[in-house]
């Protein structure tokens, strides 16, 4: 009998008739617990791998999480304790977090640098992307570097350009044993990386019905933010500026409108993308945003470890300033020293 002709992660391969998904994964030298498998765009549940026979022409995708990581003892300093007080937690989908800083795990020079930067940031939620498995033997996996007891992994759908791609990615993340909290990202333009609002809303509806806790990345569009809240998203994540641009908060007024419109829903507004330095993070929290997510601002800094600490402190300071309440802006001066008792 002729061999089966299949495609694995875009590469043509052959397999003997009767080959199962489990046998294919084993033959490729992959650790079954670290990967998820999709066949012809349908997730193959791990419990069925030993019975799932491959067929001629099957298109197989084998994916794993990629990025930097965190969770091991610090290389040099940093307590790794989440910042913030227990009386003012960030609540997302019923889960409570002390830190209002969410960080990405990519773009670091080394996995070790990423691990230490994330530790120093005090972040409890770290994002990871799902990609085709690199079949190079001994290639490190992001899960090797993250202590799941300390950090919550937030799978994201970065790189997806359609609602279908995003939904498939989230289902694969679930198959990898992740919790149901996901960052939904559907890109509408490859140059600006602006999100596709309509596709994001479509994917959000499907994922919420599927039982996911959805955190969608979106434009700073109050109408779209309200629609995402209405379909059951656990938070909304409007951009401050284009991803990786470092331009800071370009439209604080739209963010204020979003905060006002979503206040009755009591769901968090988390600024996602565009932060360049610590003052940008502080501004986001001073506006009343519930948190901020960043990656490039830390990983791309001249000293990522020091910037991670700066971002941690800025988020704490911004939140405290918001809670304390700034003084009103005035056009003219108002003396701070008493005017009574002046010398004639």
Query: Which residue is catalytic, options 107, 139, 149, 183?
Result: 183
Quote the CA–CA distance of 187 and 197 in Å, as a whole number.
9
Which sign does the torsion angle of CA 5, 9, 11, 15 carry? negative
Residue written as tokens 């617990």?
33
Query: What is the number of other CB atoms lying within 10 angstroms of the CB of residue 173?
Result: 27
Q: Locate 108 and state its tokens.
A: 């670091």
Q: Locate 187 and state its tokens.
A: 């890109």
Quote the CA–CA distance of 342 and 67 in Å, as a whole number.
64
Q: Locate 3 and state its tokens.
A: 């061999």
149 is catalytic: no
| Helical spans, DSSP H, in the chain | 21-27, 111-121, 163-175, 197-209, 222-230, 252-262, 278-286, 296-299, 304-324
Reference 108, options 89, 94, 126, 90; nearest CA is 126
Instruction: List active site positions.
Output: 183
């Amino acid at each position: 009998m002729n061999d089966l002709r299949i495609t694995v992660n875009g590469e043509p391969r052959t397999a003997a008739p009767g080959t199962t998904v489990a046998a294919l994964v084993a033959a490729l030298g992959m650790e079954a617990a670290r990967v998820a498998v999709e066949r012809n765009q349908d997730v193959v549940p791990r419990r069925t791998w030993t019975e799932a026979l491959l067929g001629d022409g099957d298109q197989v995708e084998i994916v794993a999480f990629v990025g930097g990581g965190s969770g091991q003892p610090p290389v040099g300093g940093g307590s790794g304790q989440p910042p913030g007080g227990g009386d003012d937690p960030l609540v997302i989908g019923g889960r409570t977090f002390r830190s209002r800083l969410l960080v990405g795990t990519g773009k670091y020079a080394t996995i070790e640098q990423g691990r230490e930067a994330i530790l120093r940031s005090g972040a409890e939620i770290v994002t990871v992307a799902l990609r085709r498995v690199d079949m190079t033997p001994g290639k490190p996996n992001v899960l090797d570097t993250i202590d799941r007891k300390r950090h919550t992994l937030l799978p994201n759908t970065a790189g997806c350009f359609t609602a279908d791609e995003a939904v498939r990615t989230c289902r694969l993340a679930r198959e990898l044993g992740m919790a149901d909290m996901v960052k939904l990202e559907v890109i509408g333009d490859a140059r600006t990386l602006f999100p596709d609002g309509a596709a994001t809303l479509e994917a959000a509806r499907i994922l919420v019905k599927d039982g996911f806790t959805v955190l969608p990345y979106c434009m700073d569009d109050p109408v779209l933010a309200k629609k995402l809240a209405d379909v059951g998203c656990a938070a909304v994540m409007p951009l401050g500026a284009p991803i990786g641009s470092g331009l800071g908060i370009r439209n604080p007024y739209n963010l204020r409108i979003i905060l006002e419109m979503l206040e009755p829903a009591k769901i968090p507004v988390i600024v996602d993308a565009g932060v360049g330095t610590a003052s940008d993070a502080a501004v986001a929290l001073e506006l009343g945003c519930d948190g901020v997510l960043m990656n490039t601002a830390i990983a791309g800094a001249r000293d990522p470890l020091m910037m991670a600490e700066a971002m941690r402190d800025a988020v704490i300071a911004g939140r405290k300033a918001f809670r304390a309440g700034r003084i009103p802006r005035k056009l003219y001066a108002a003396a701070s020293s008493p005017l009574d008792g002046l010398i004639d």
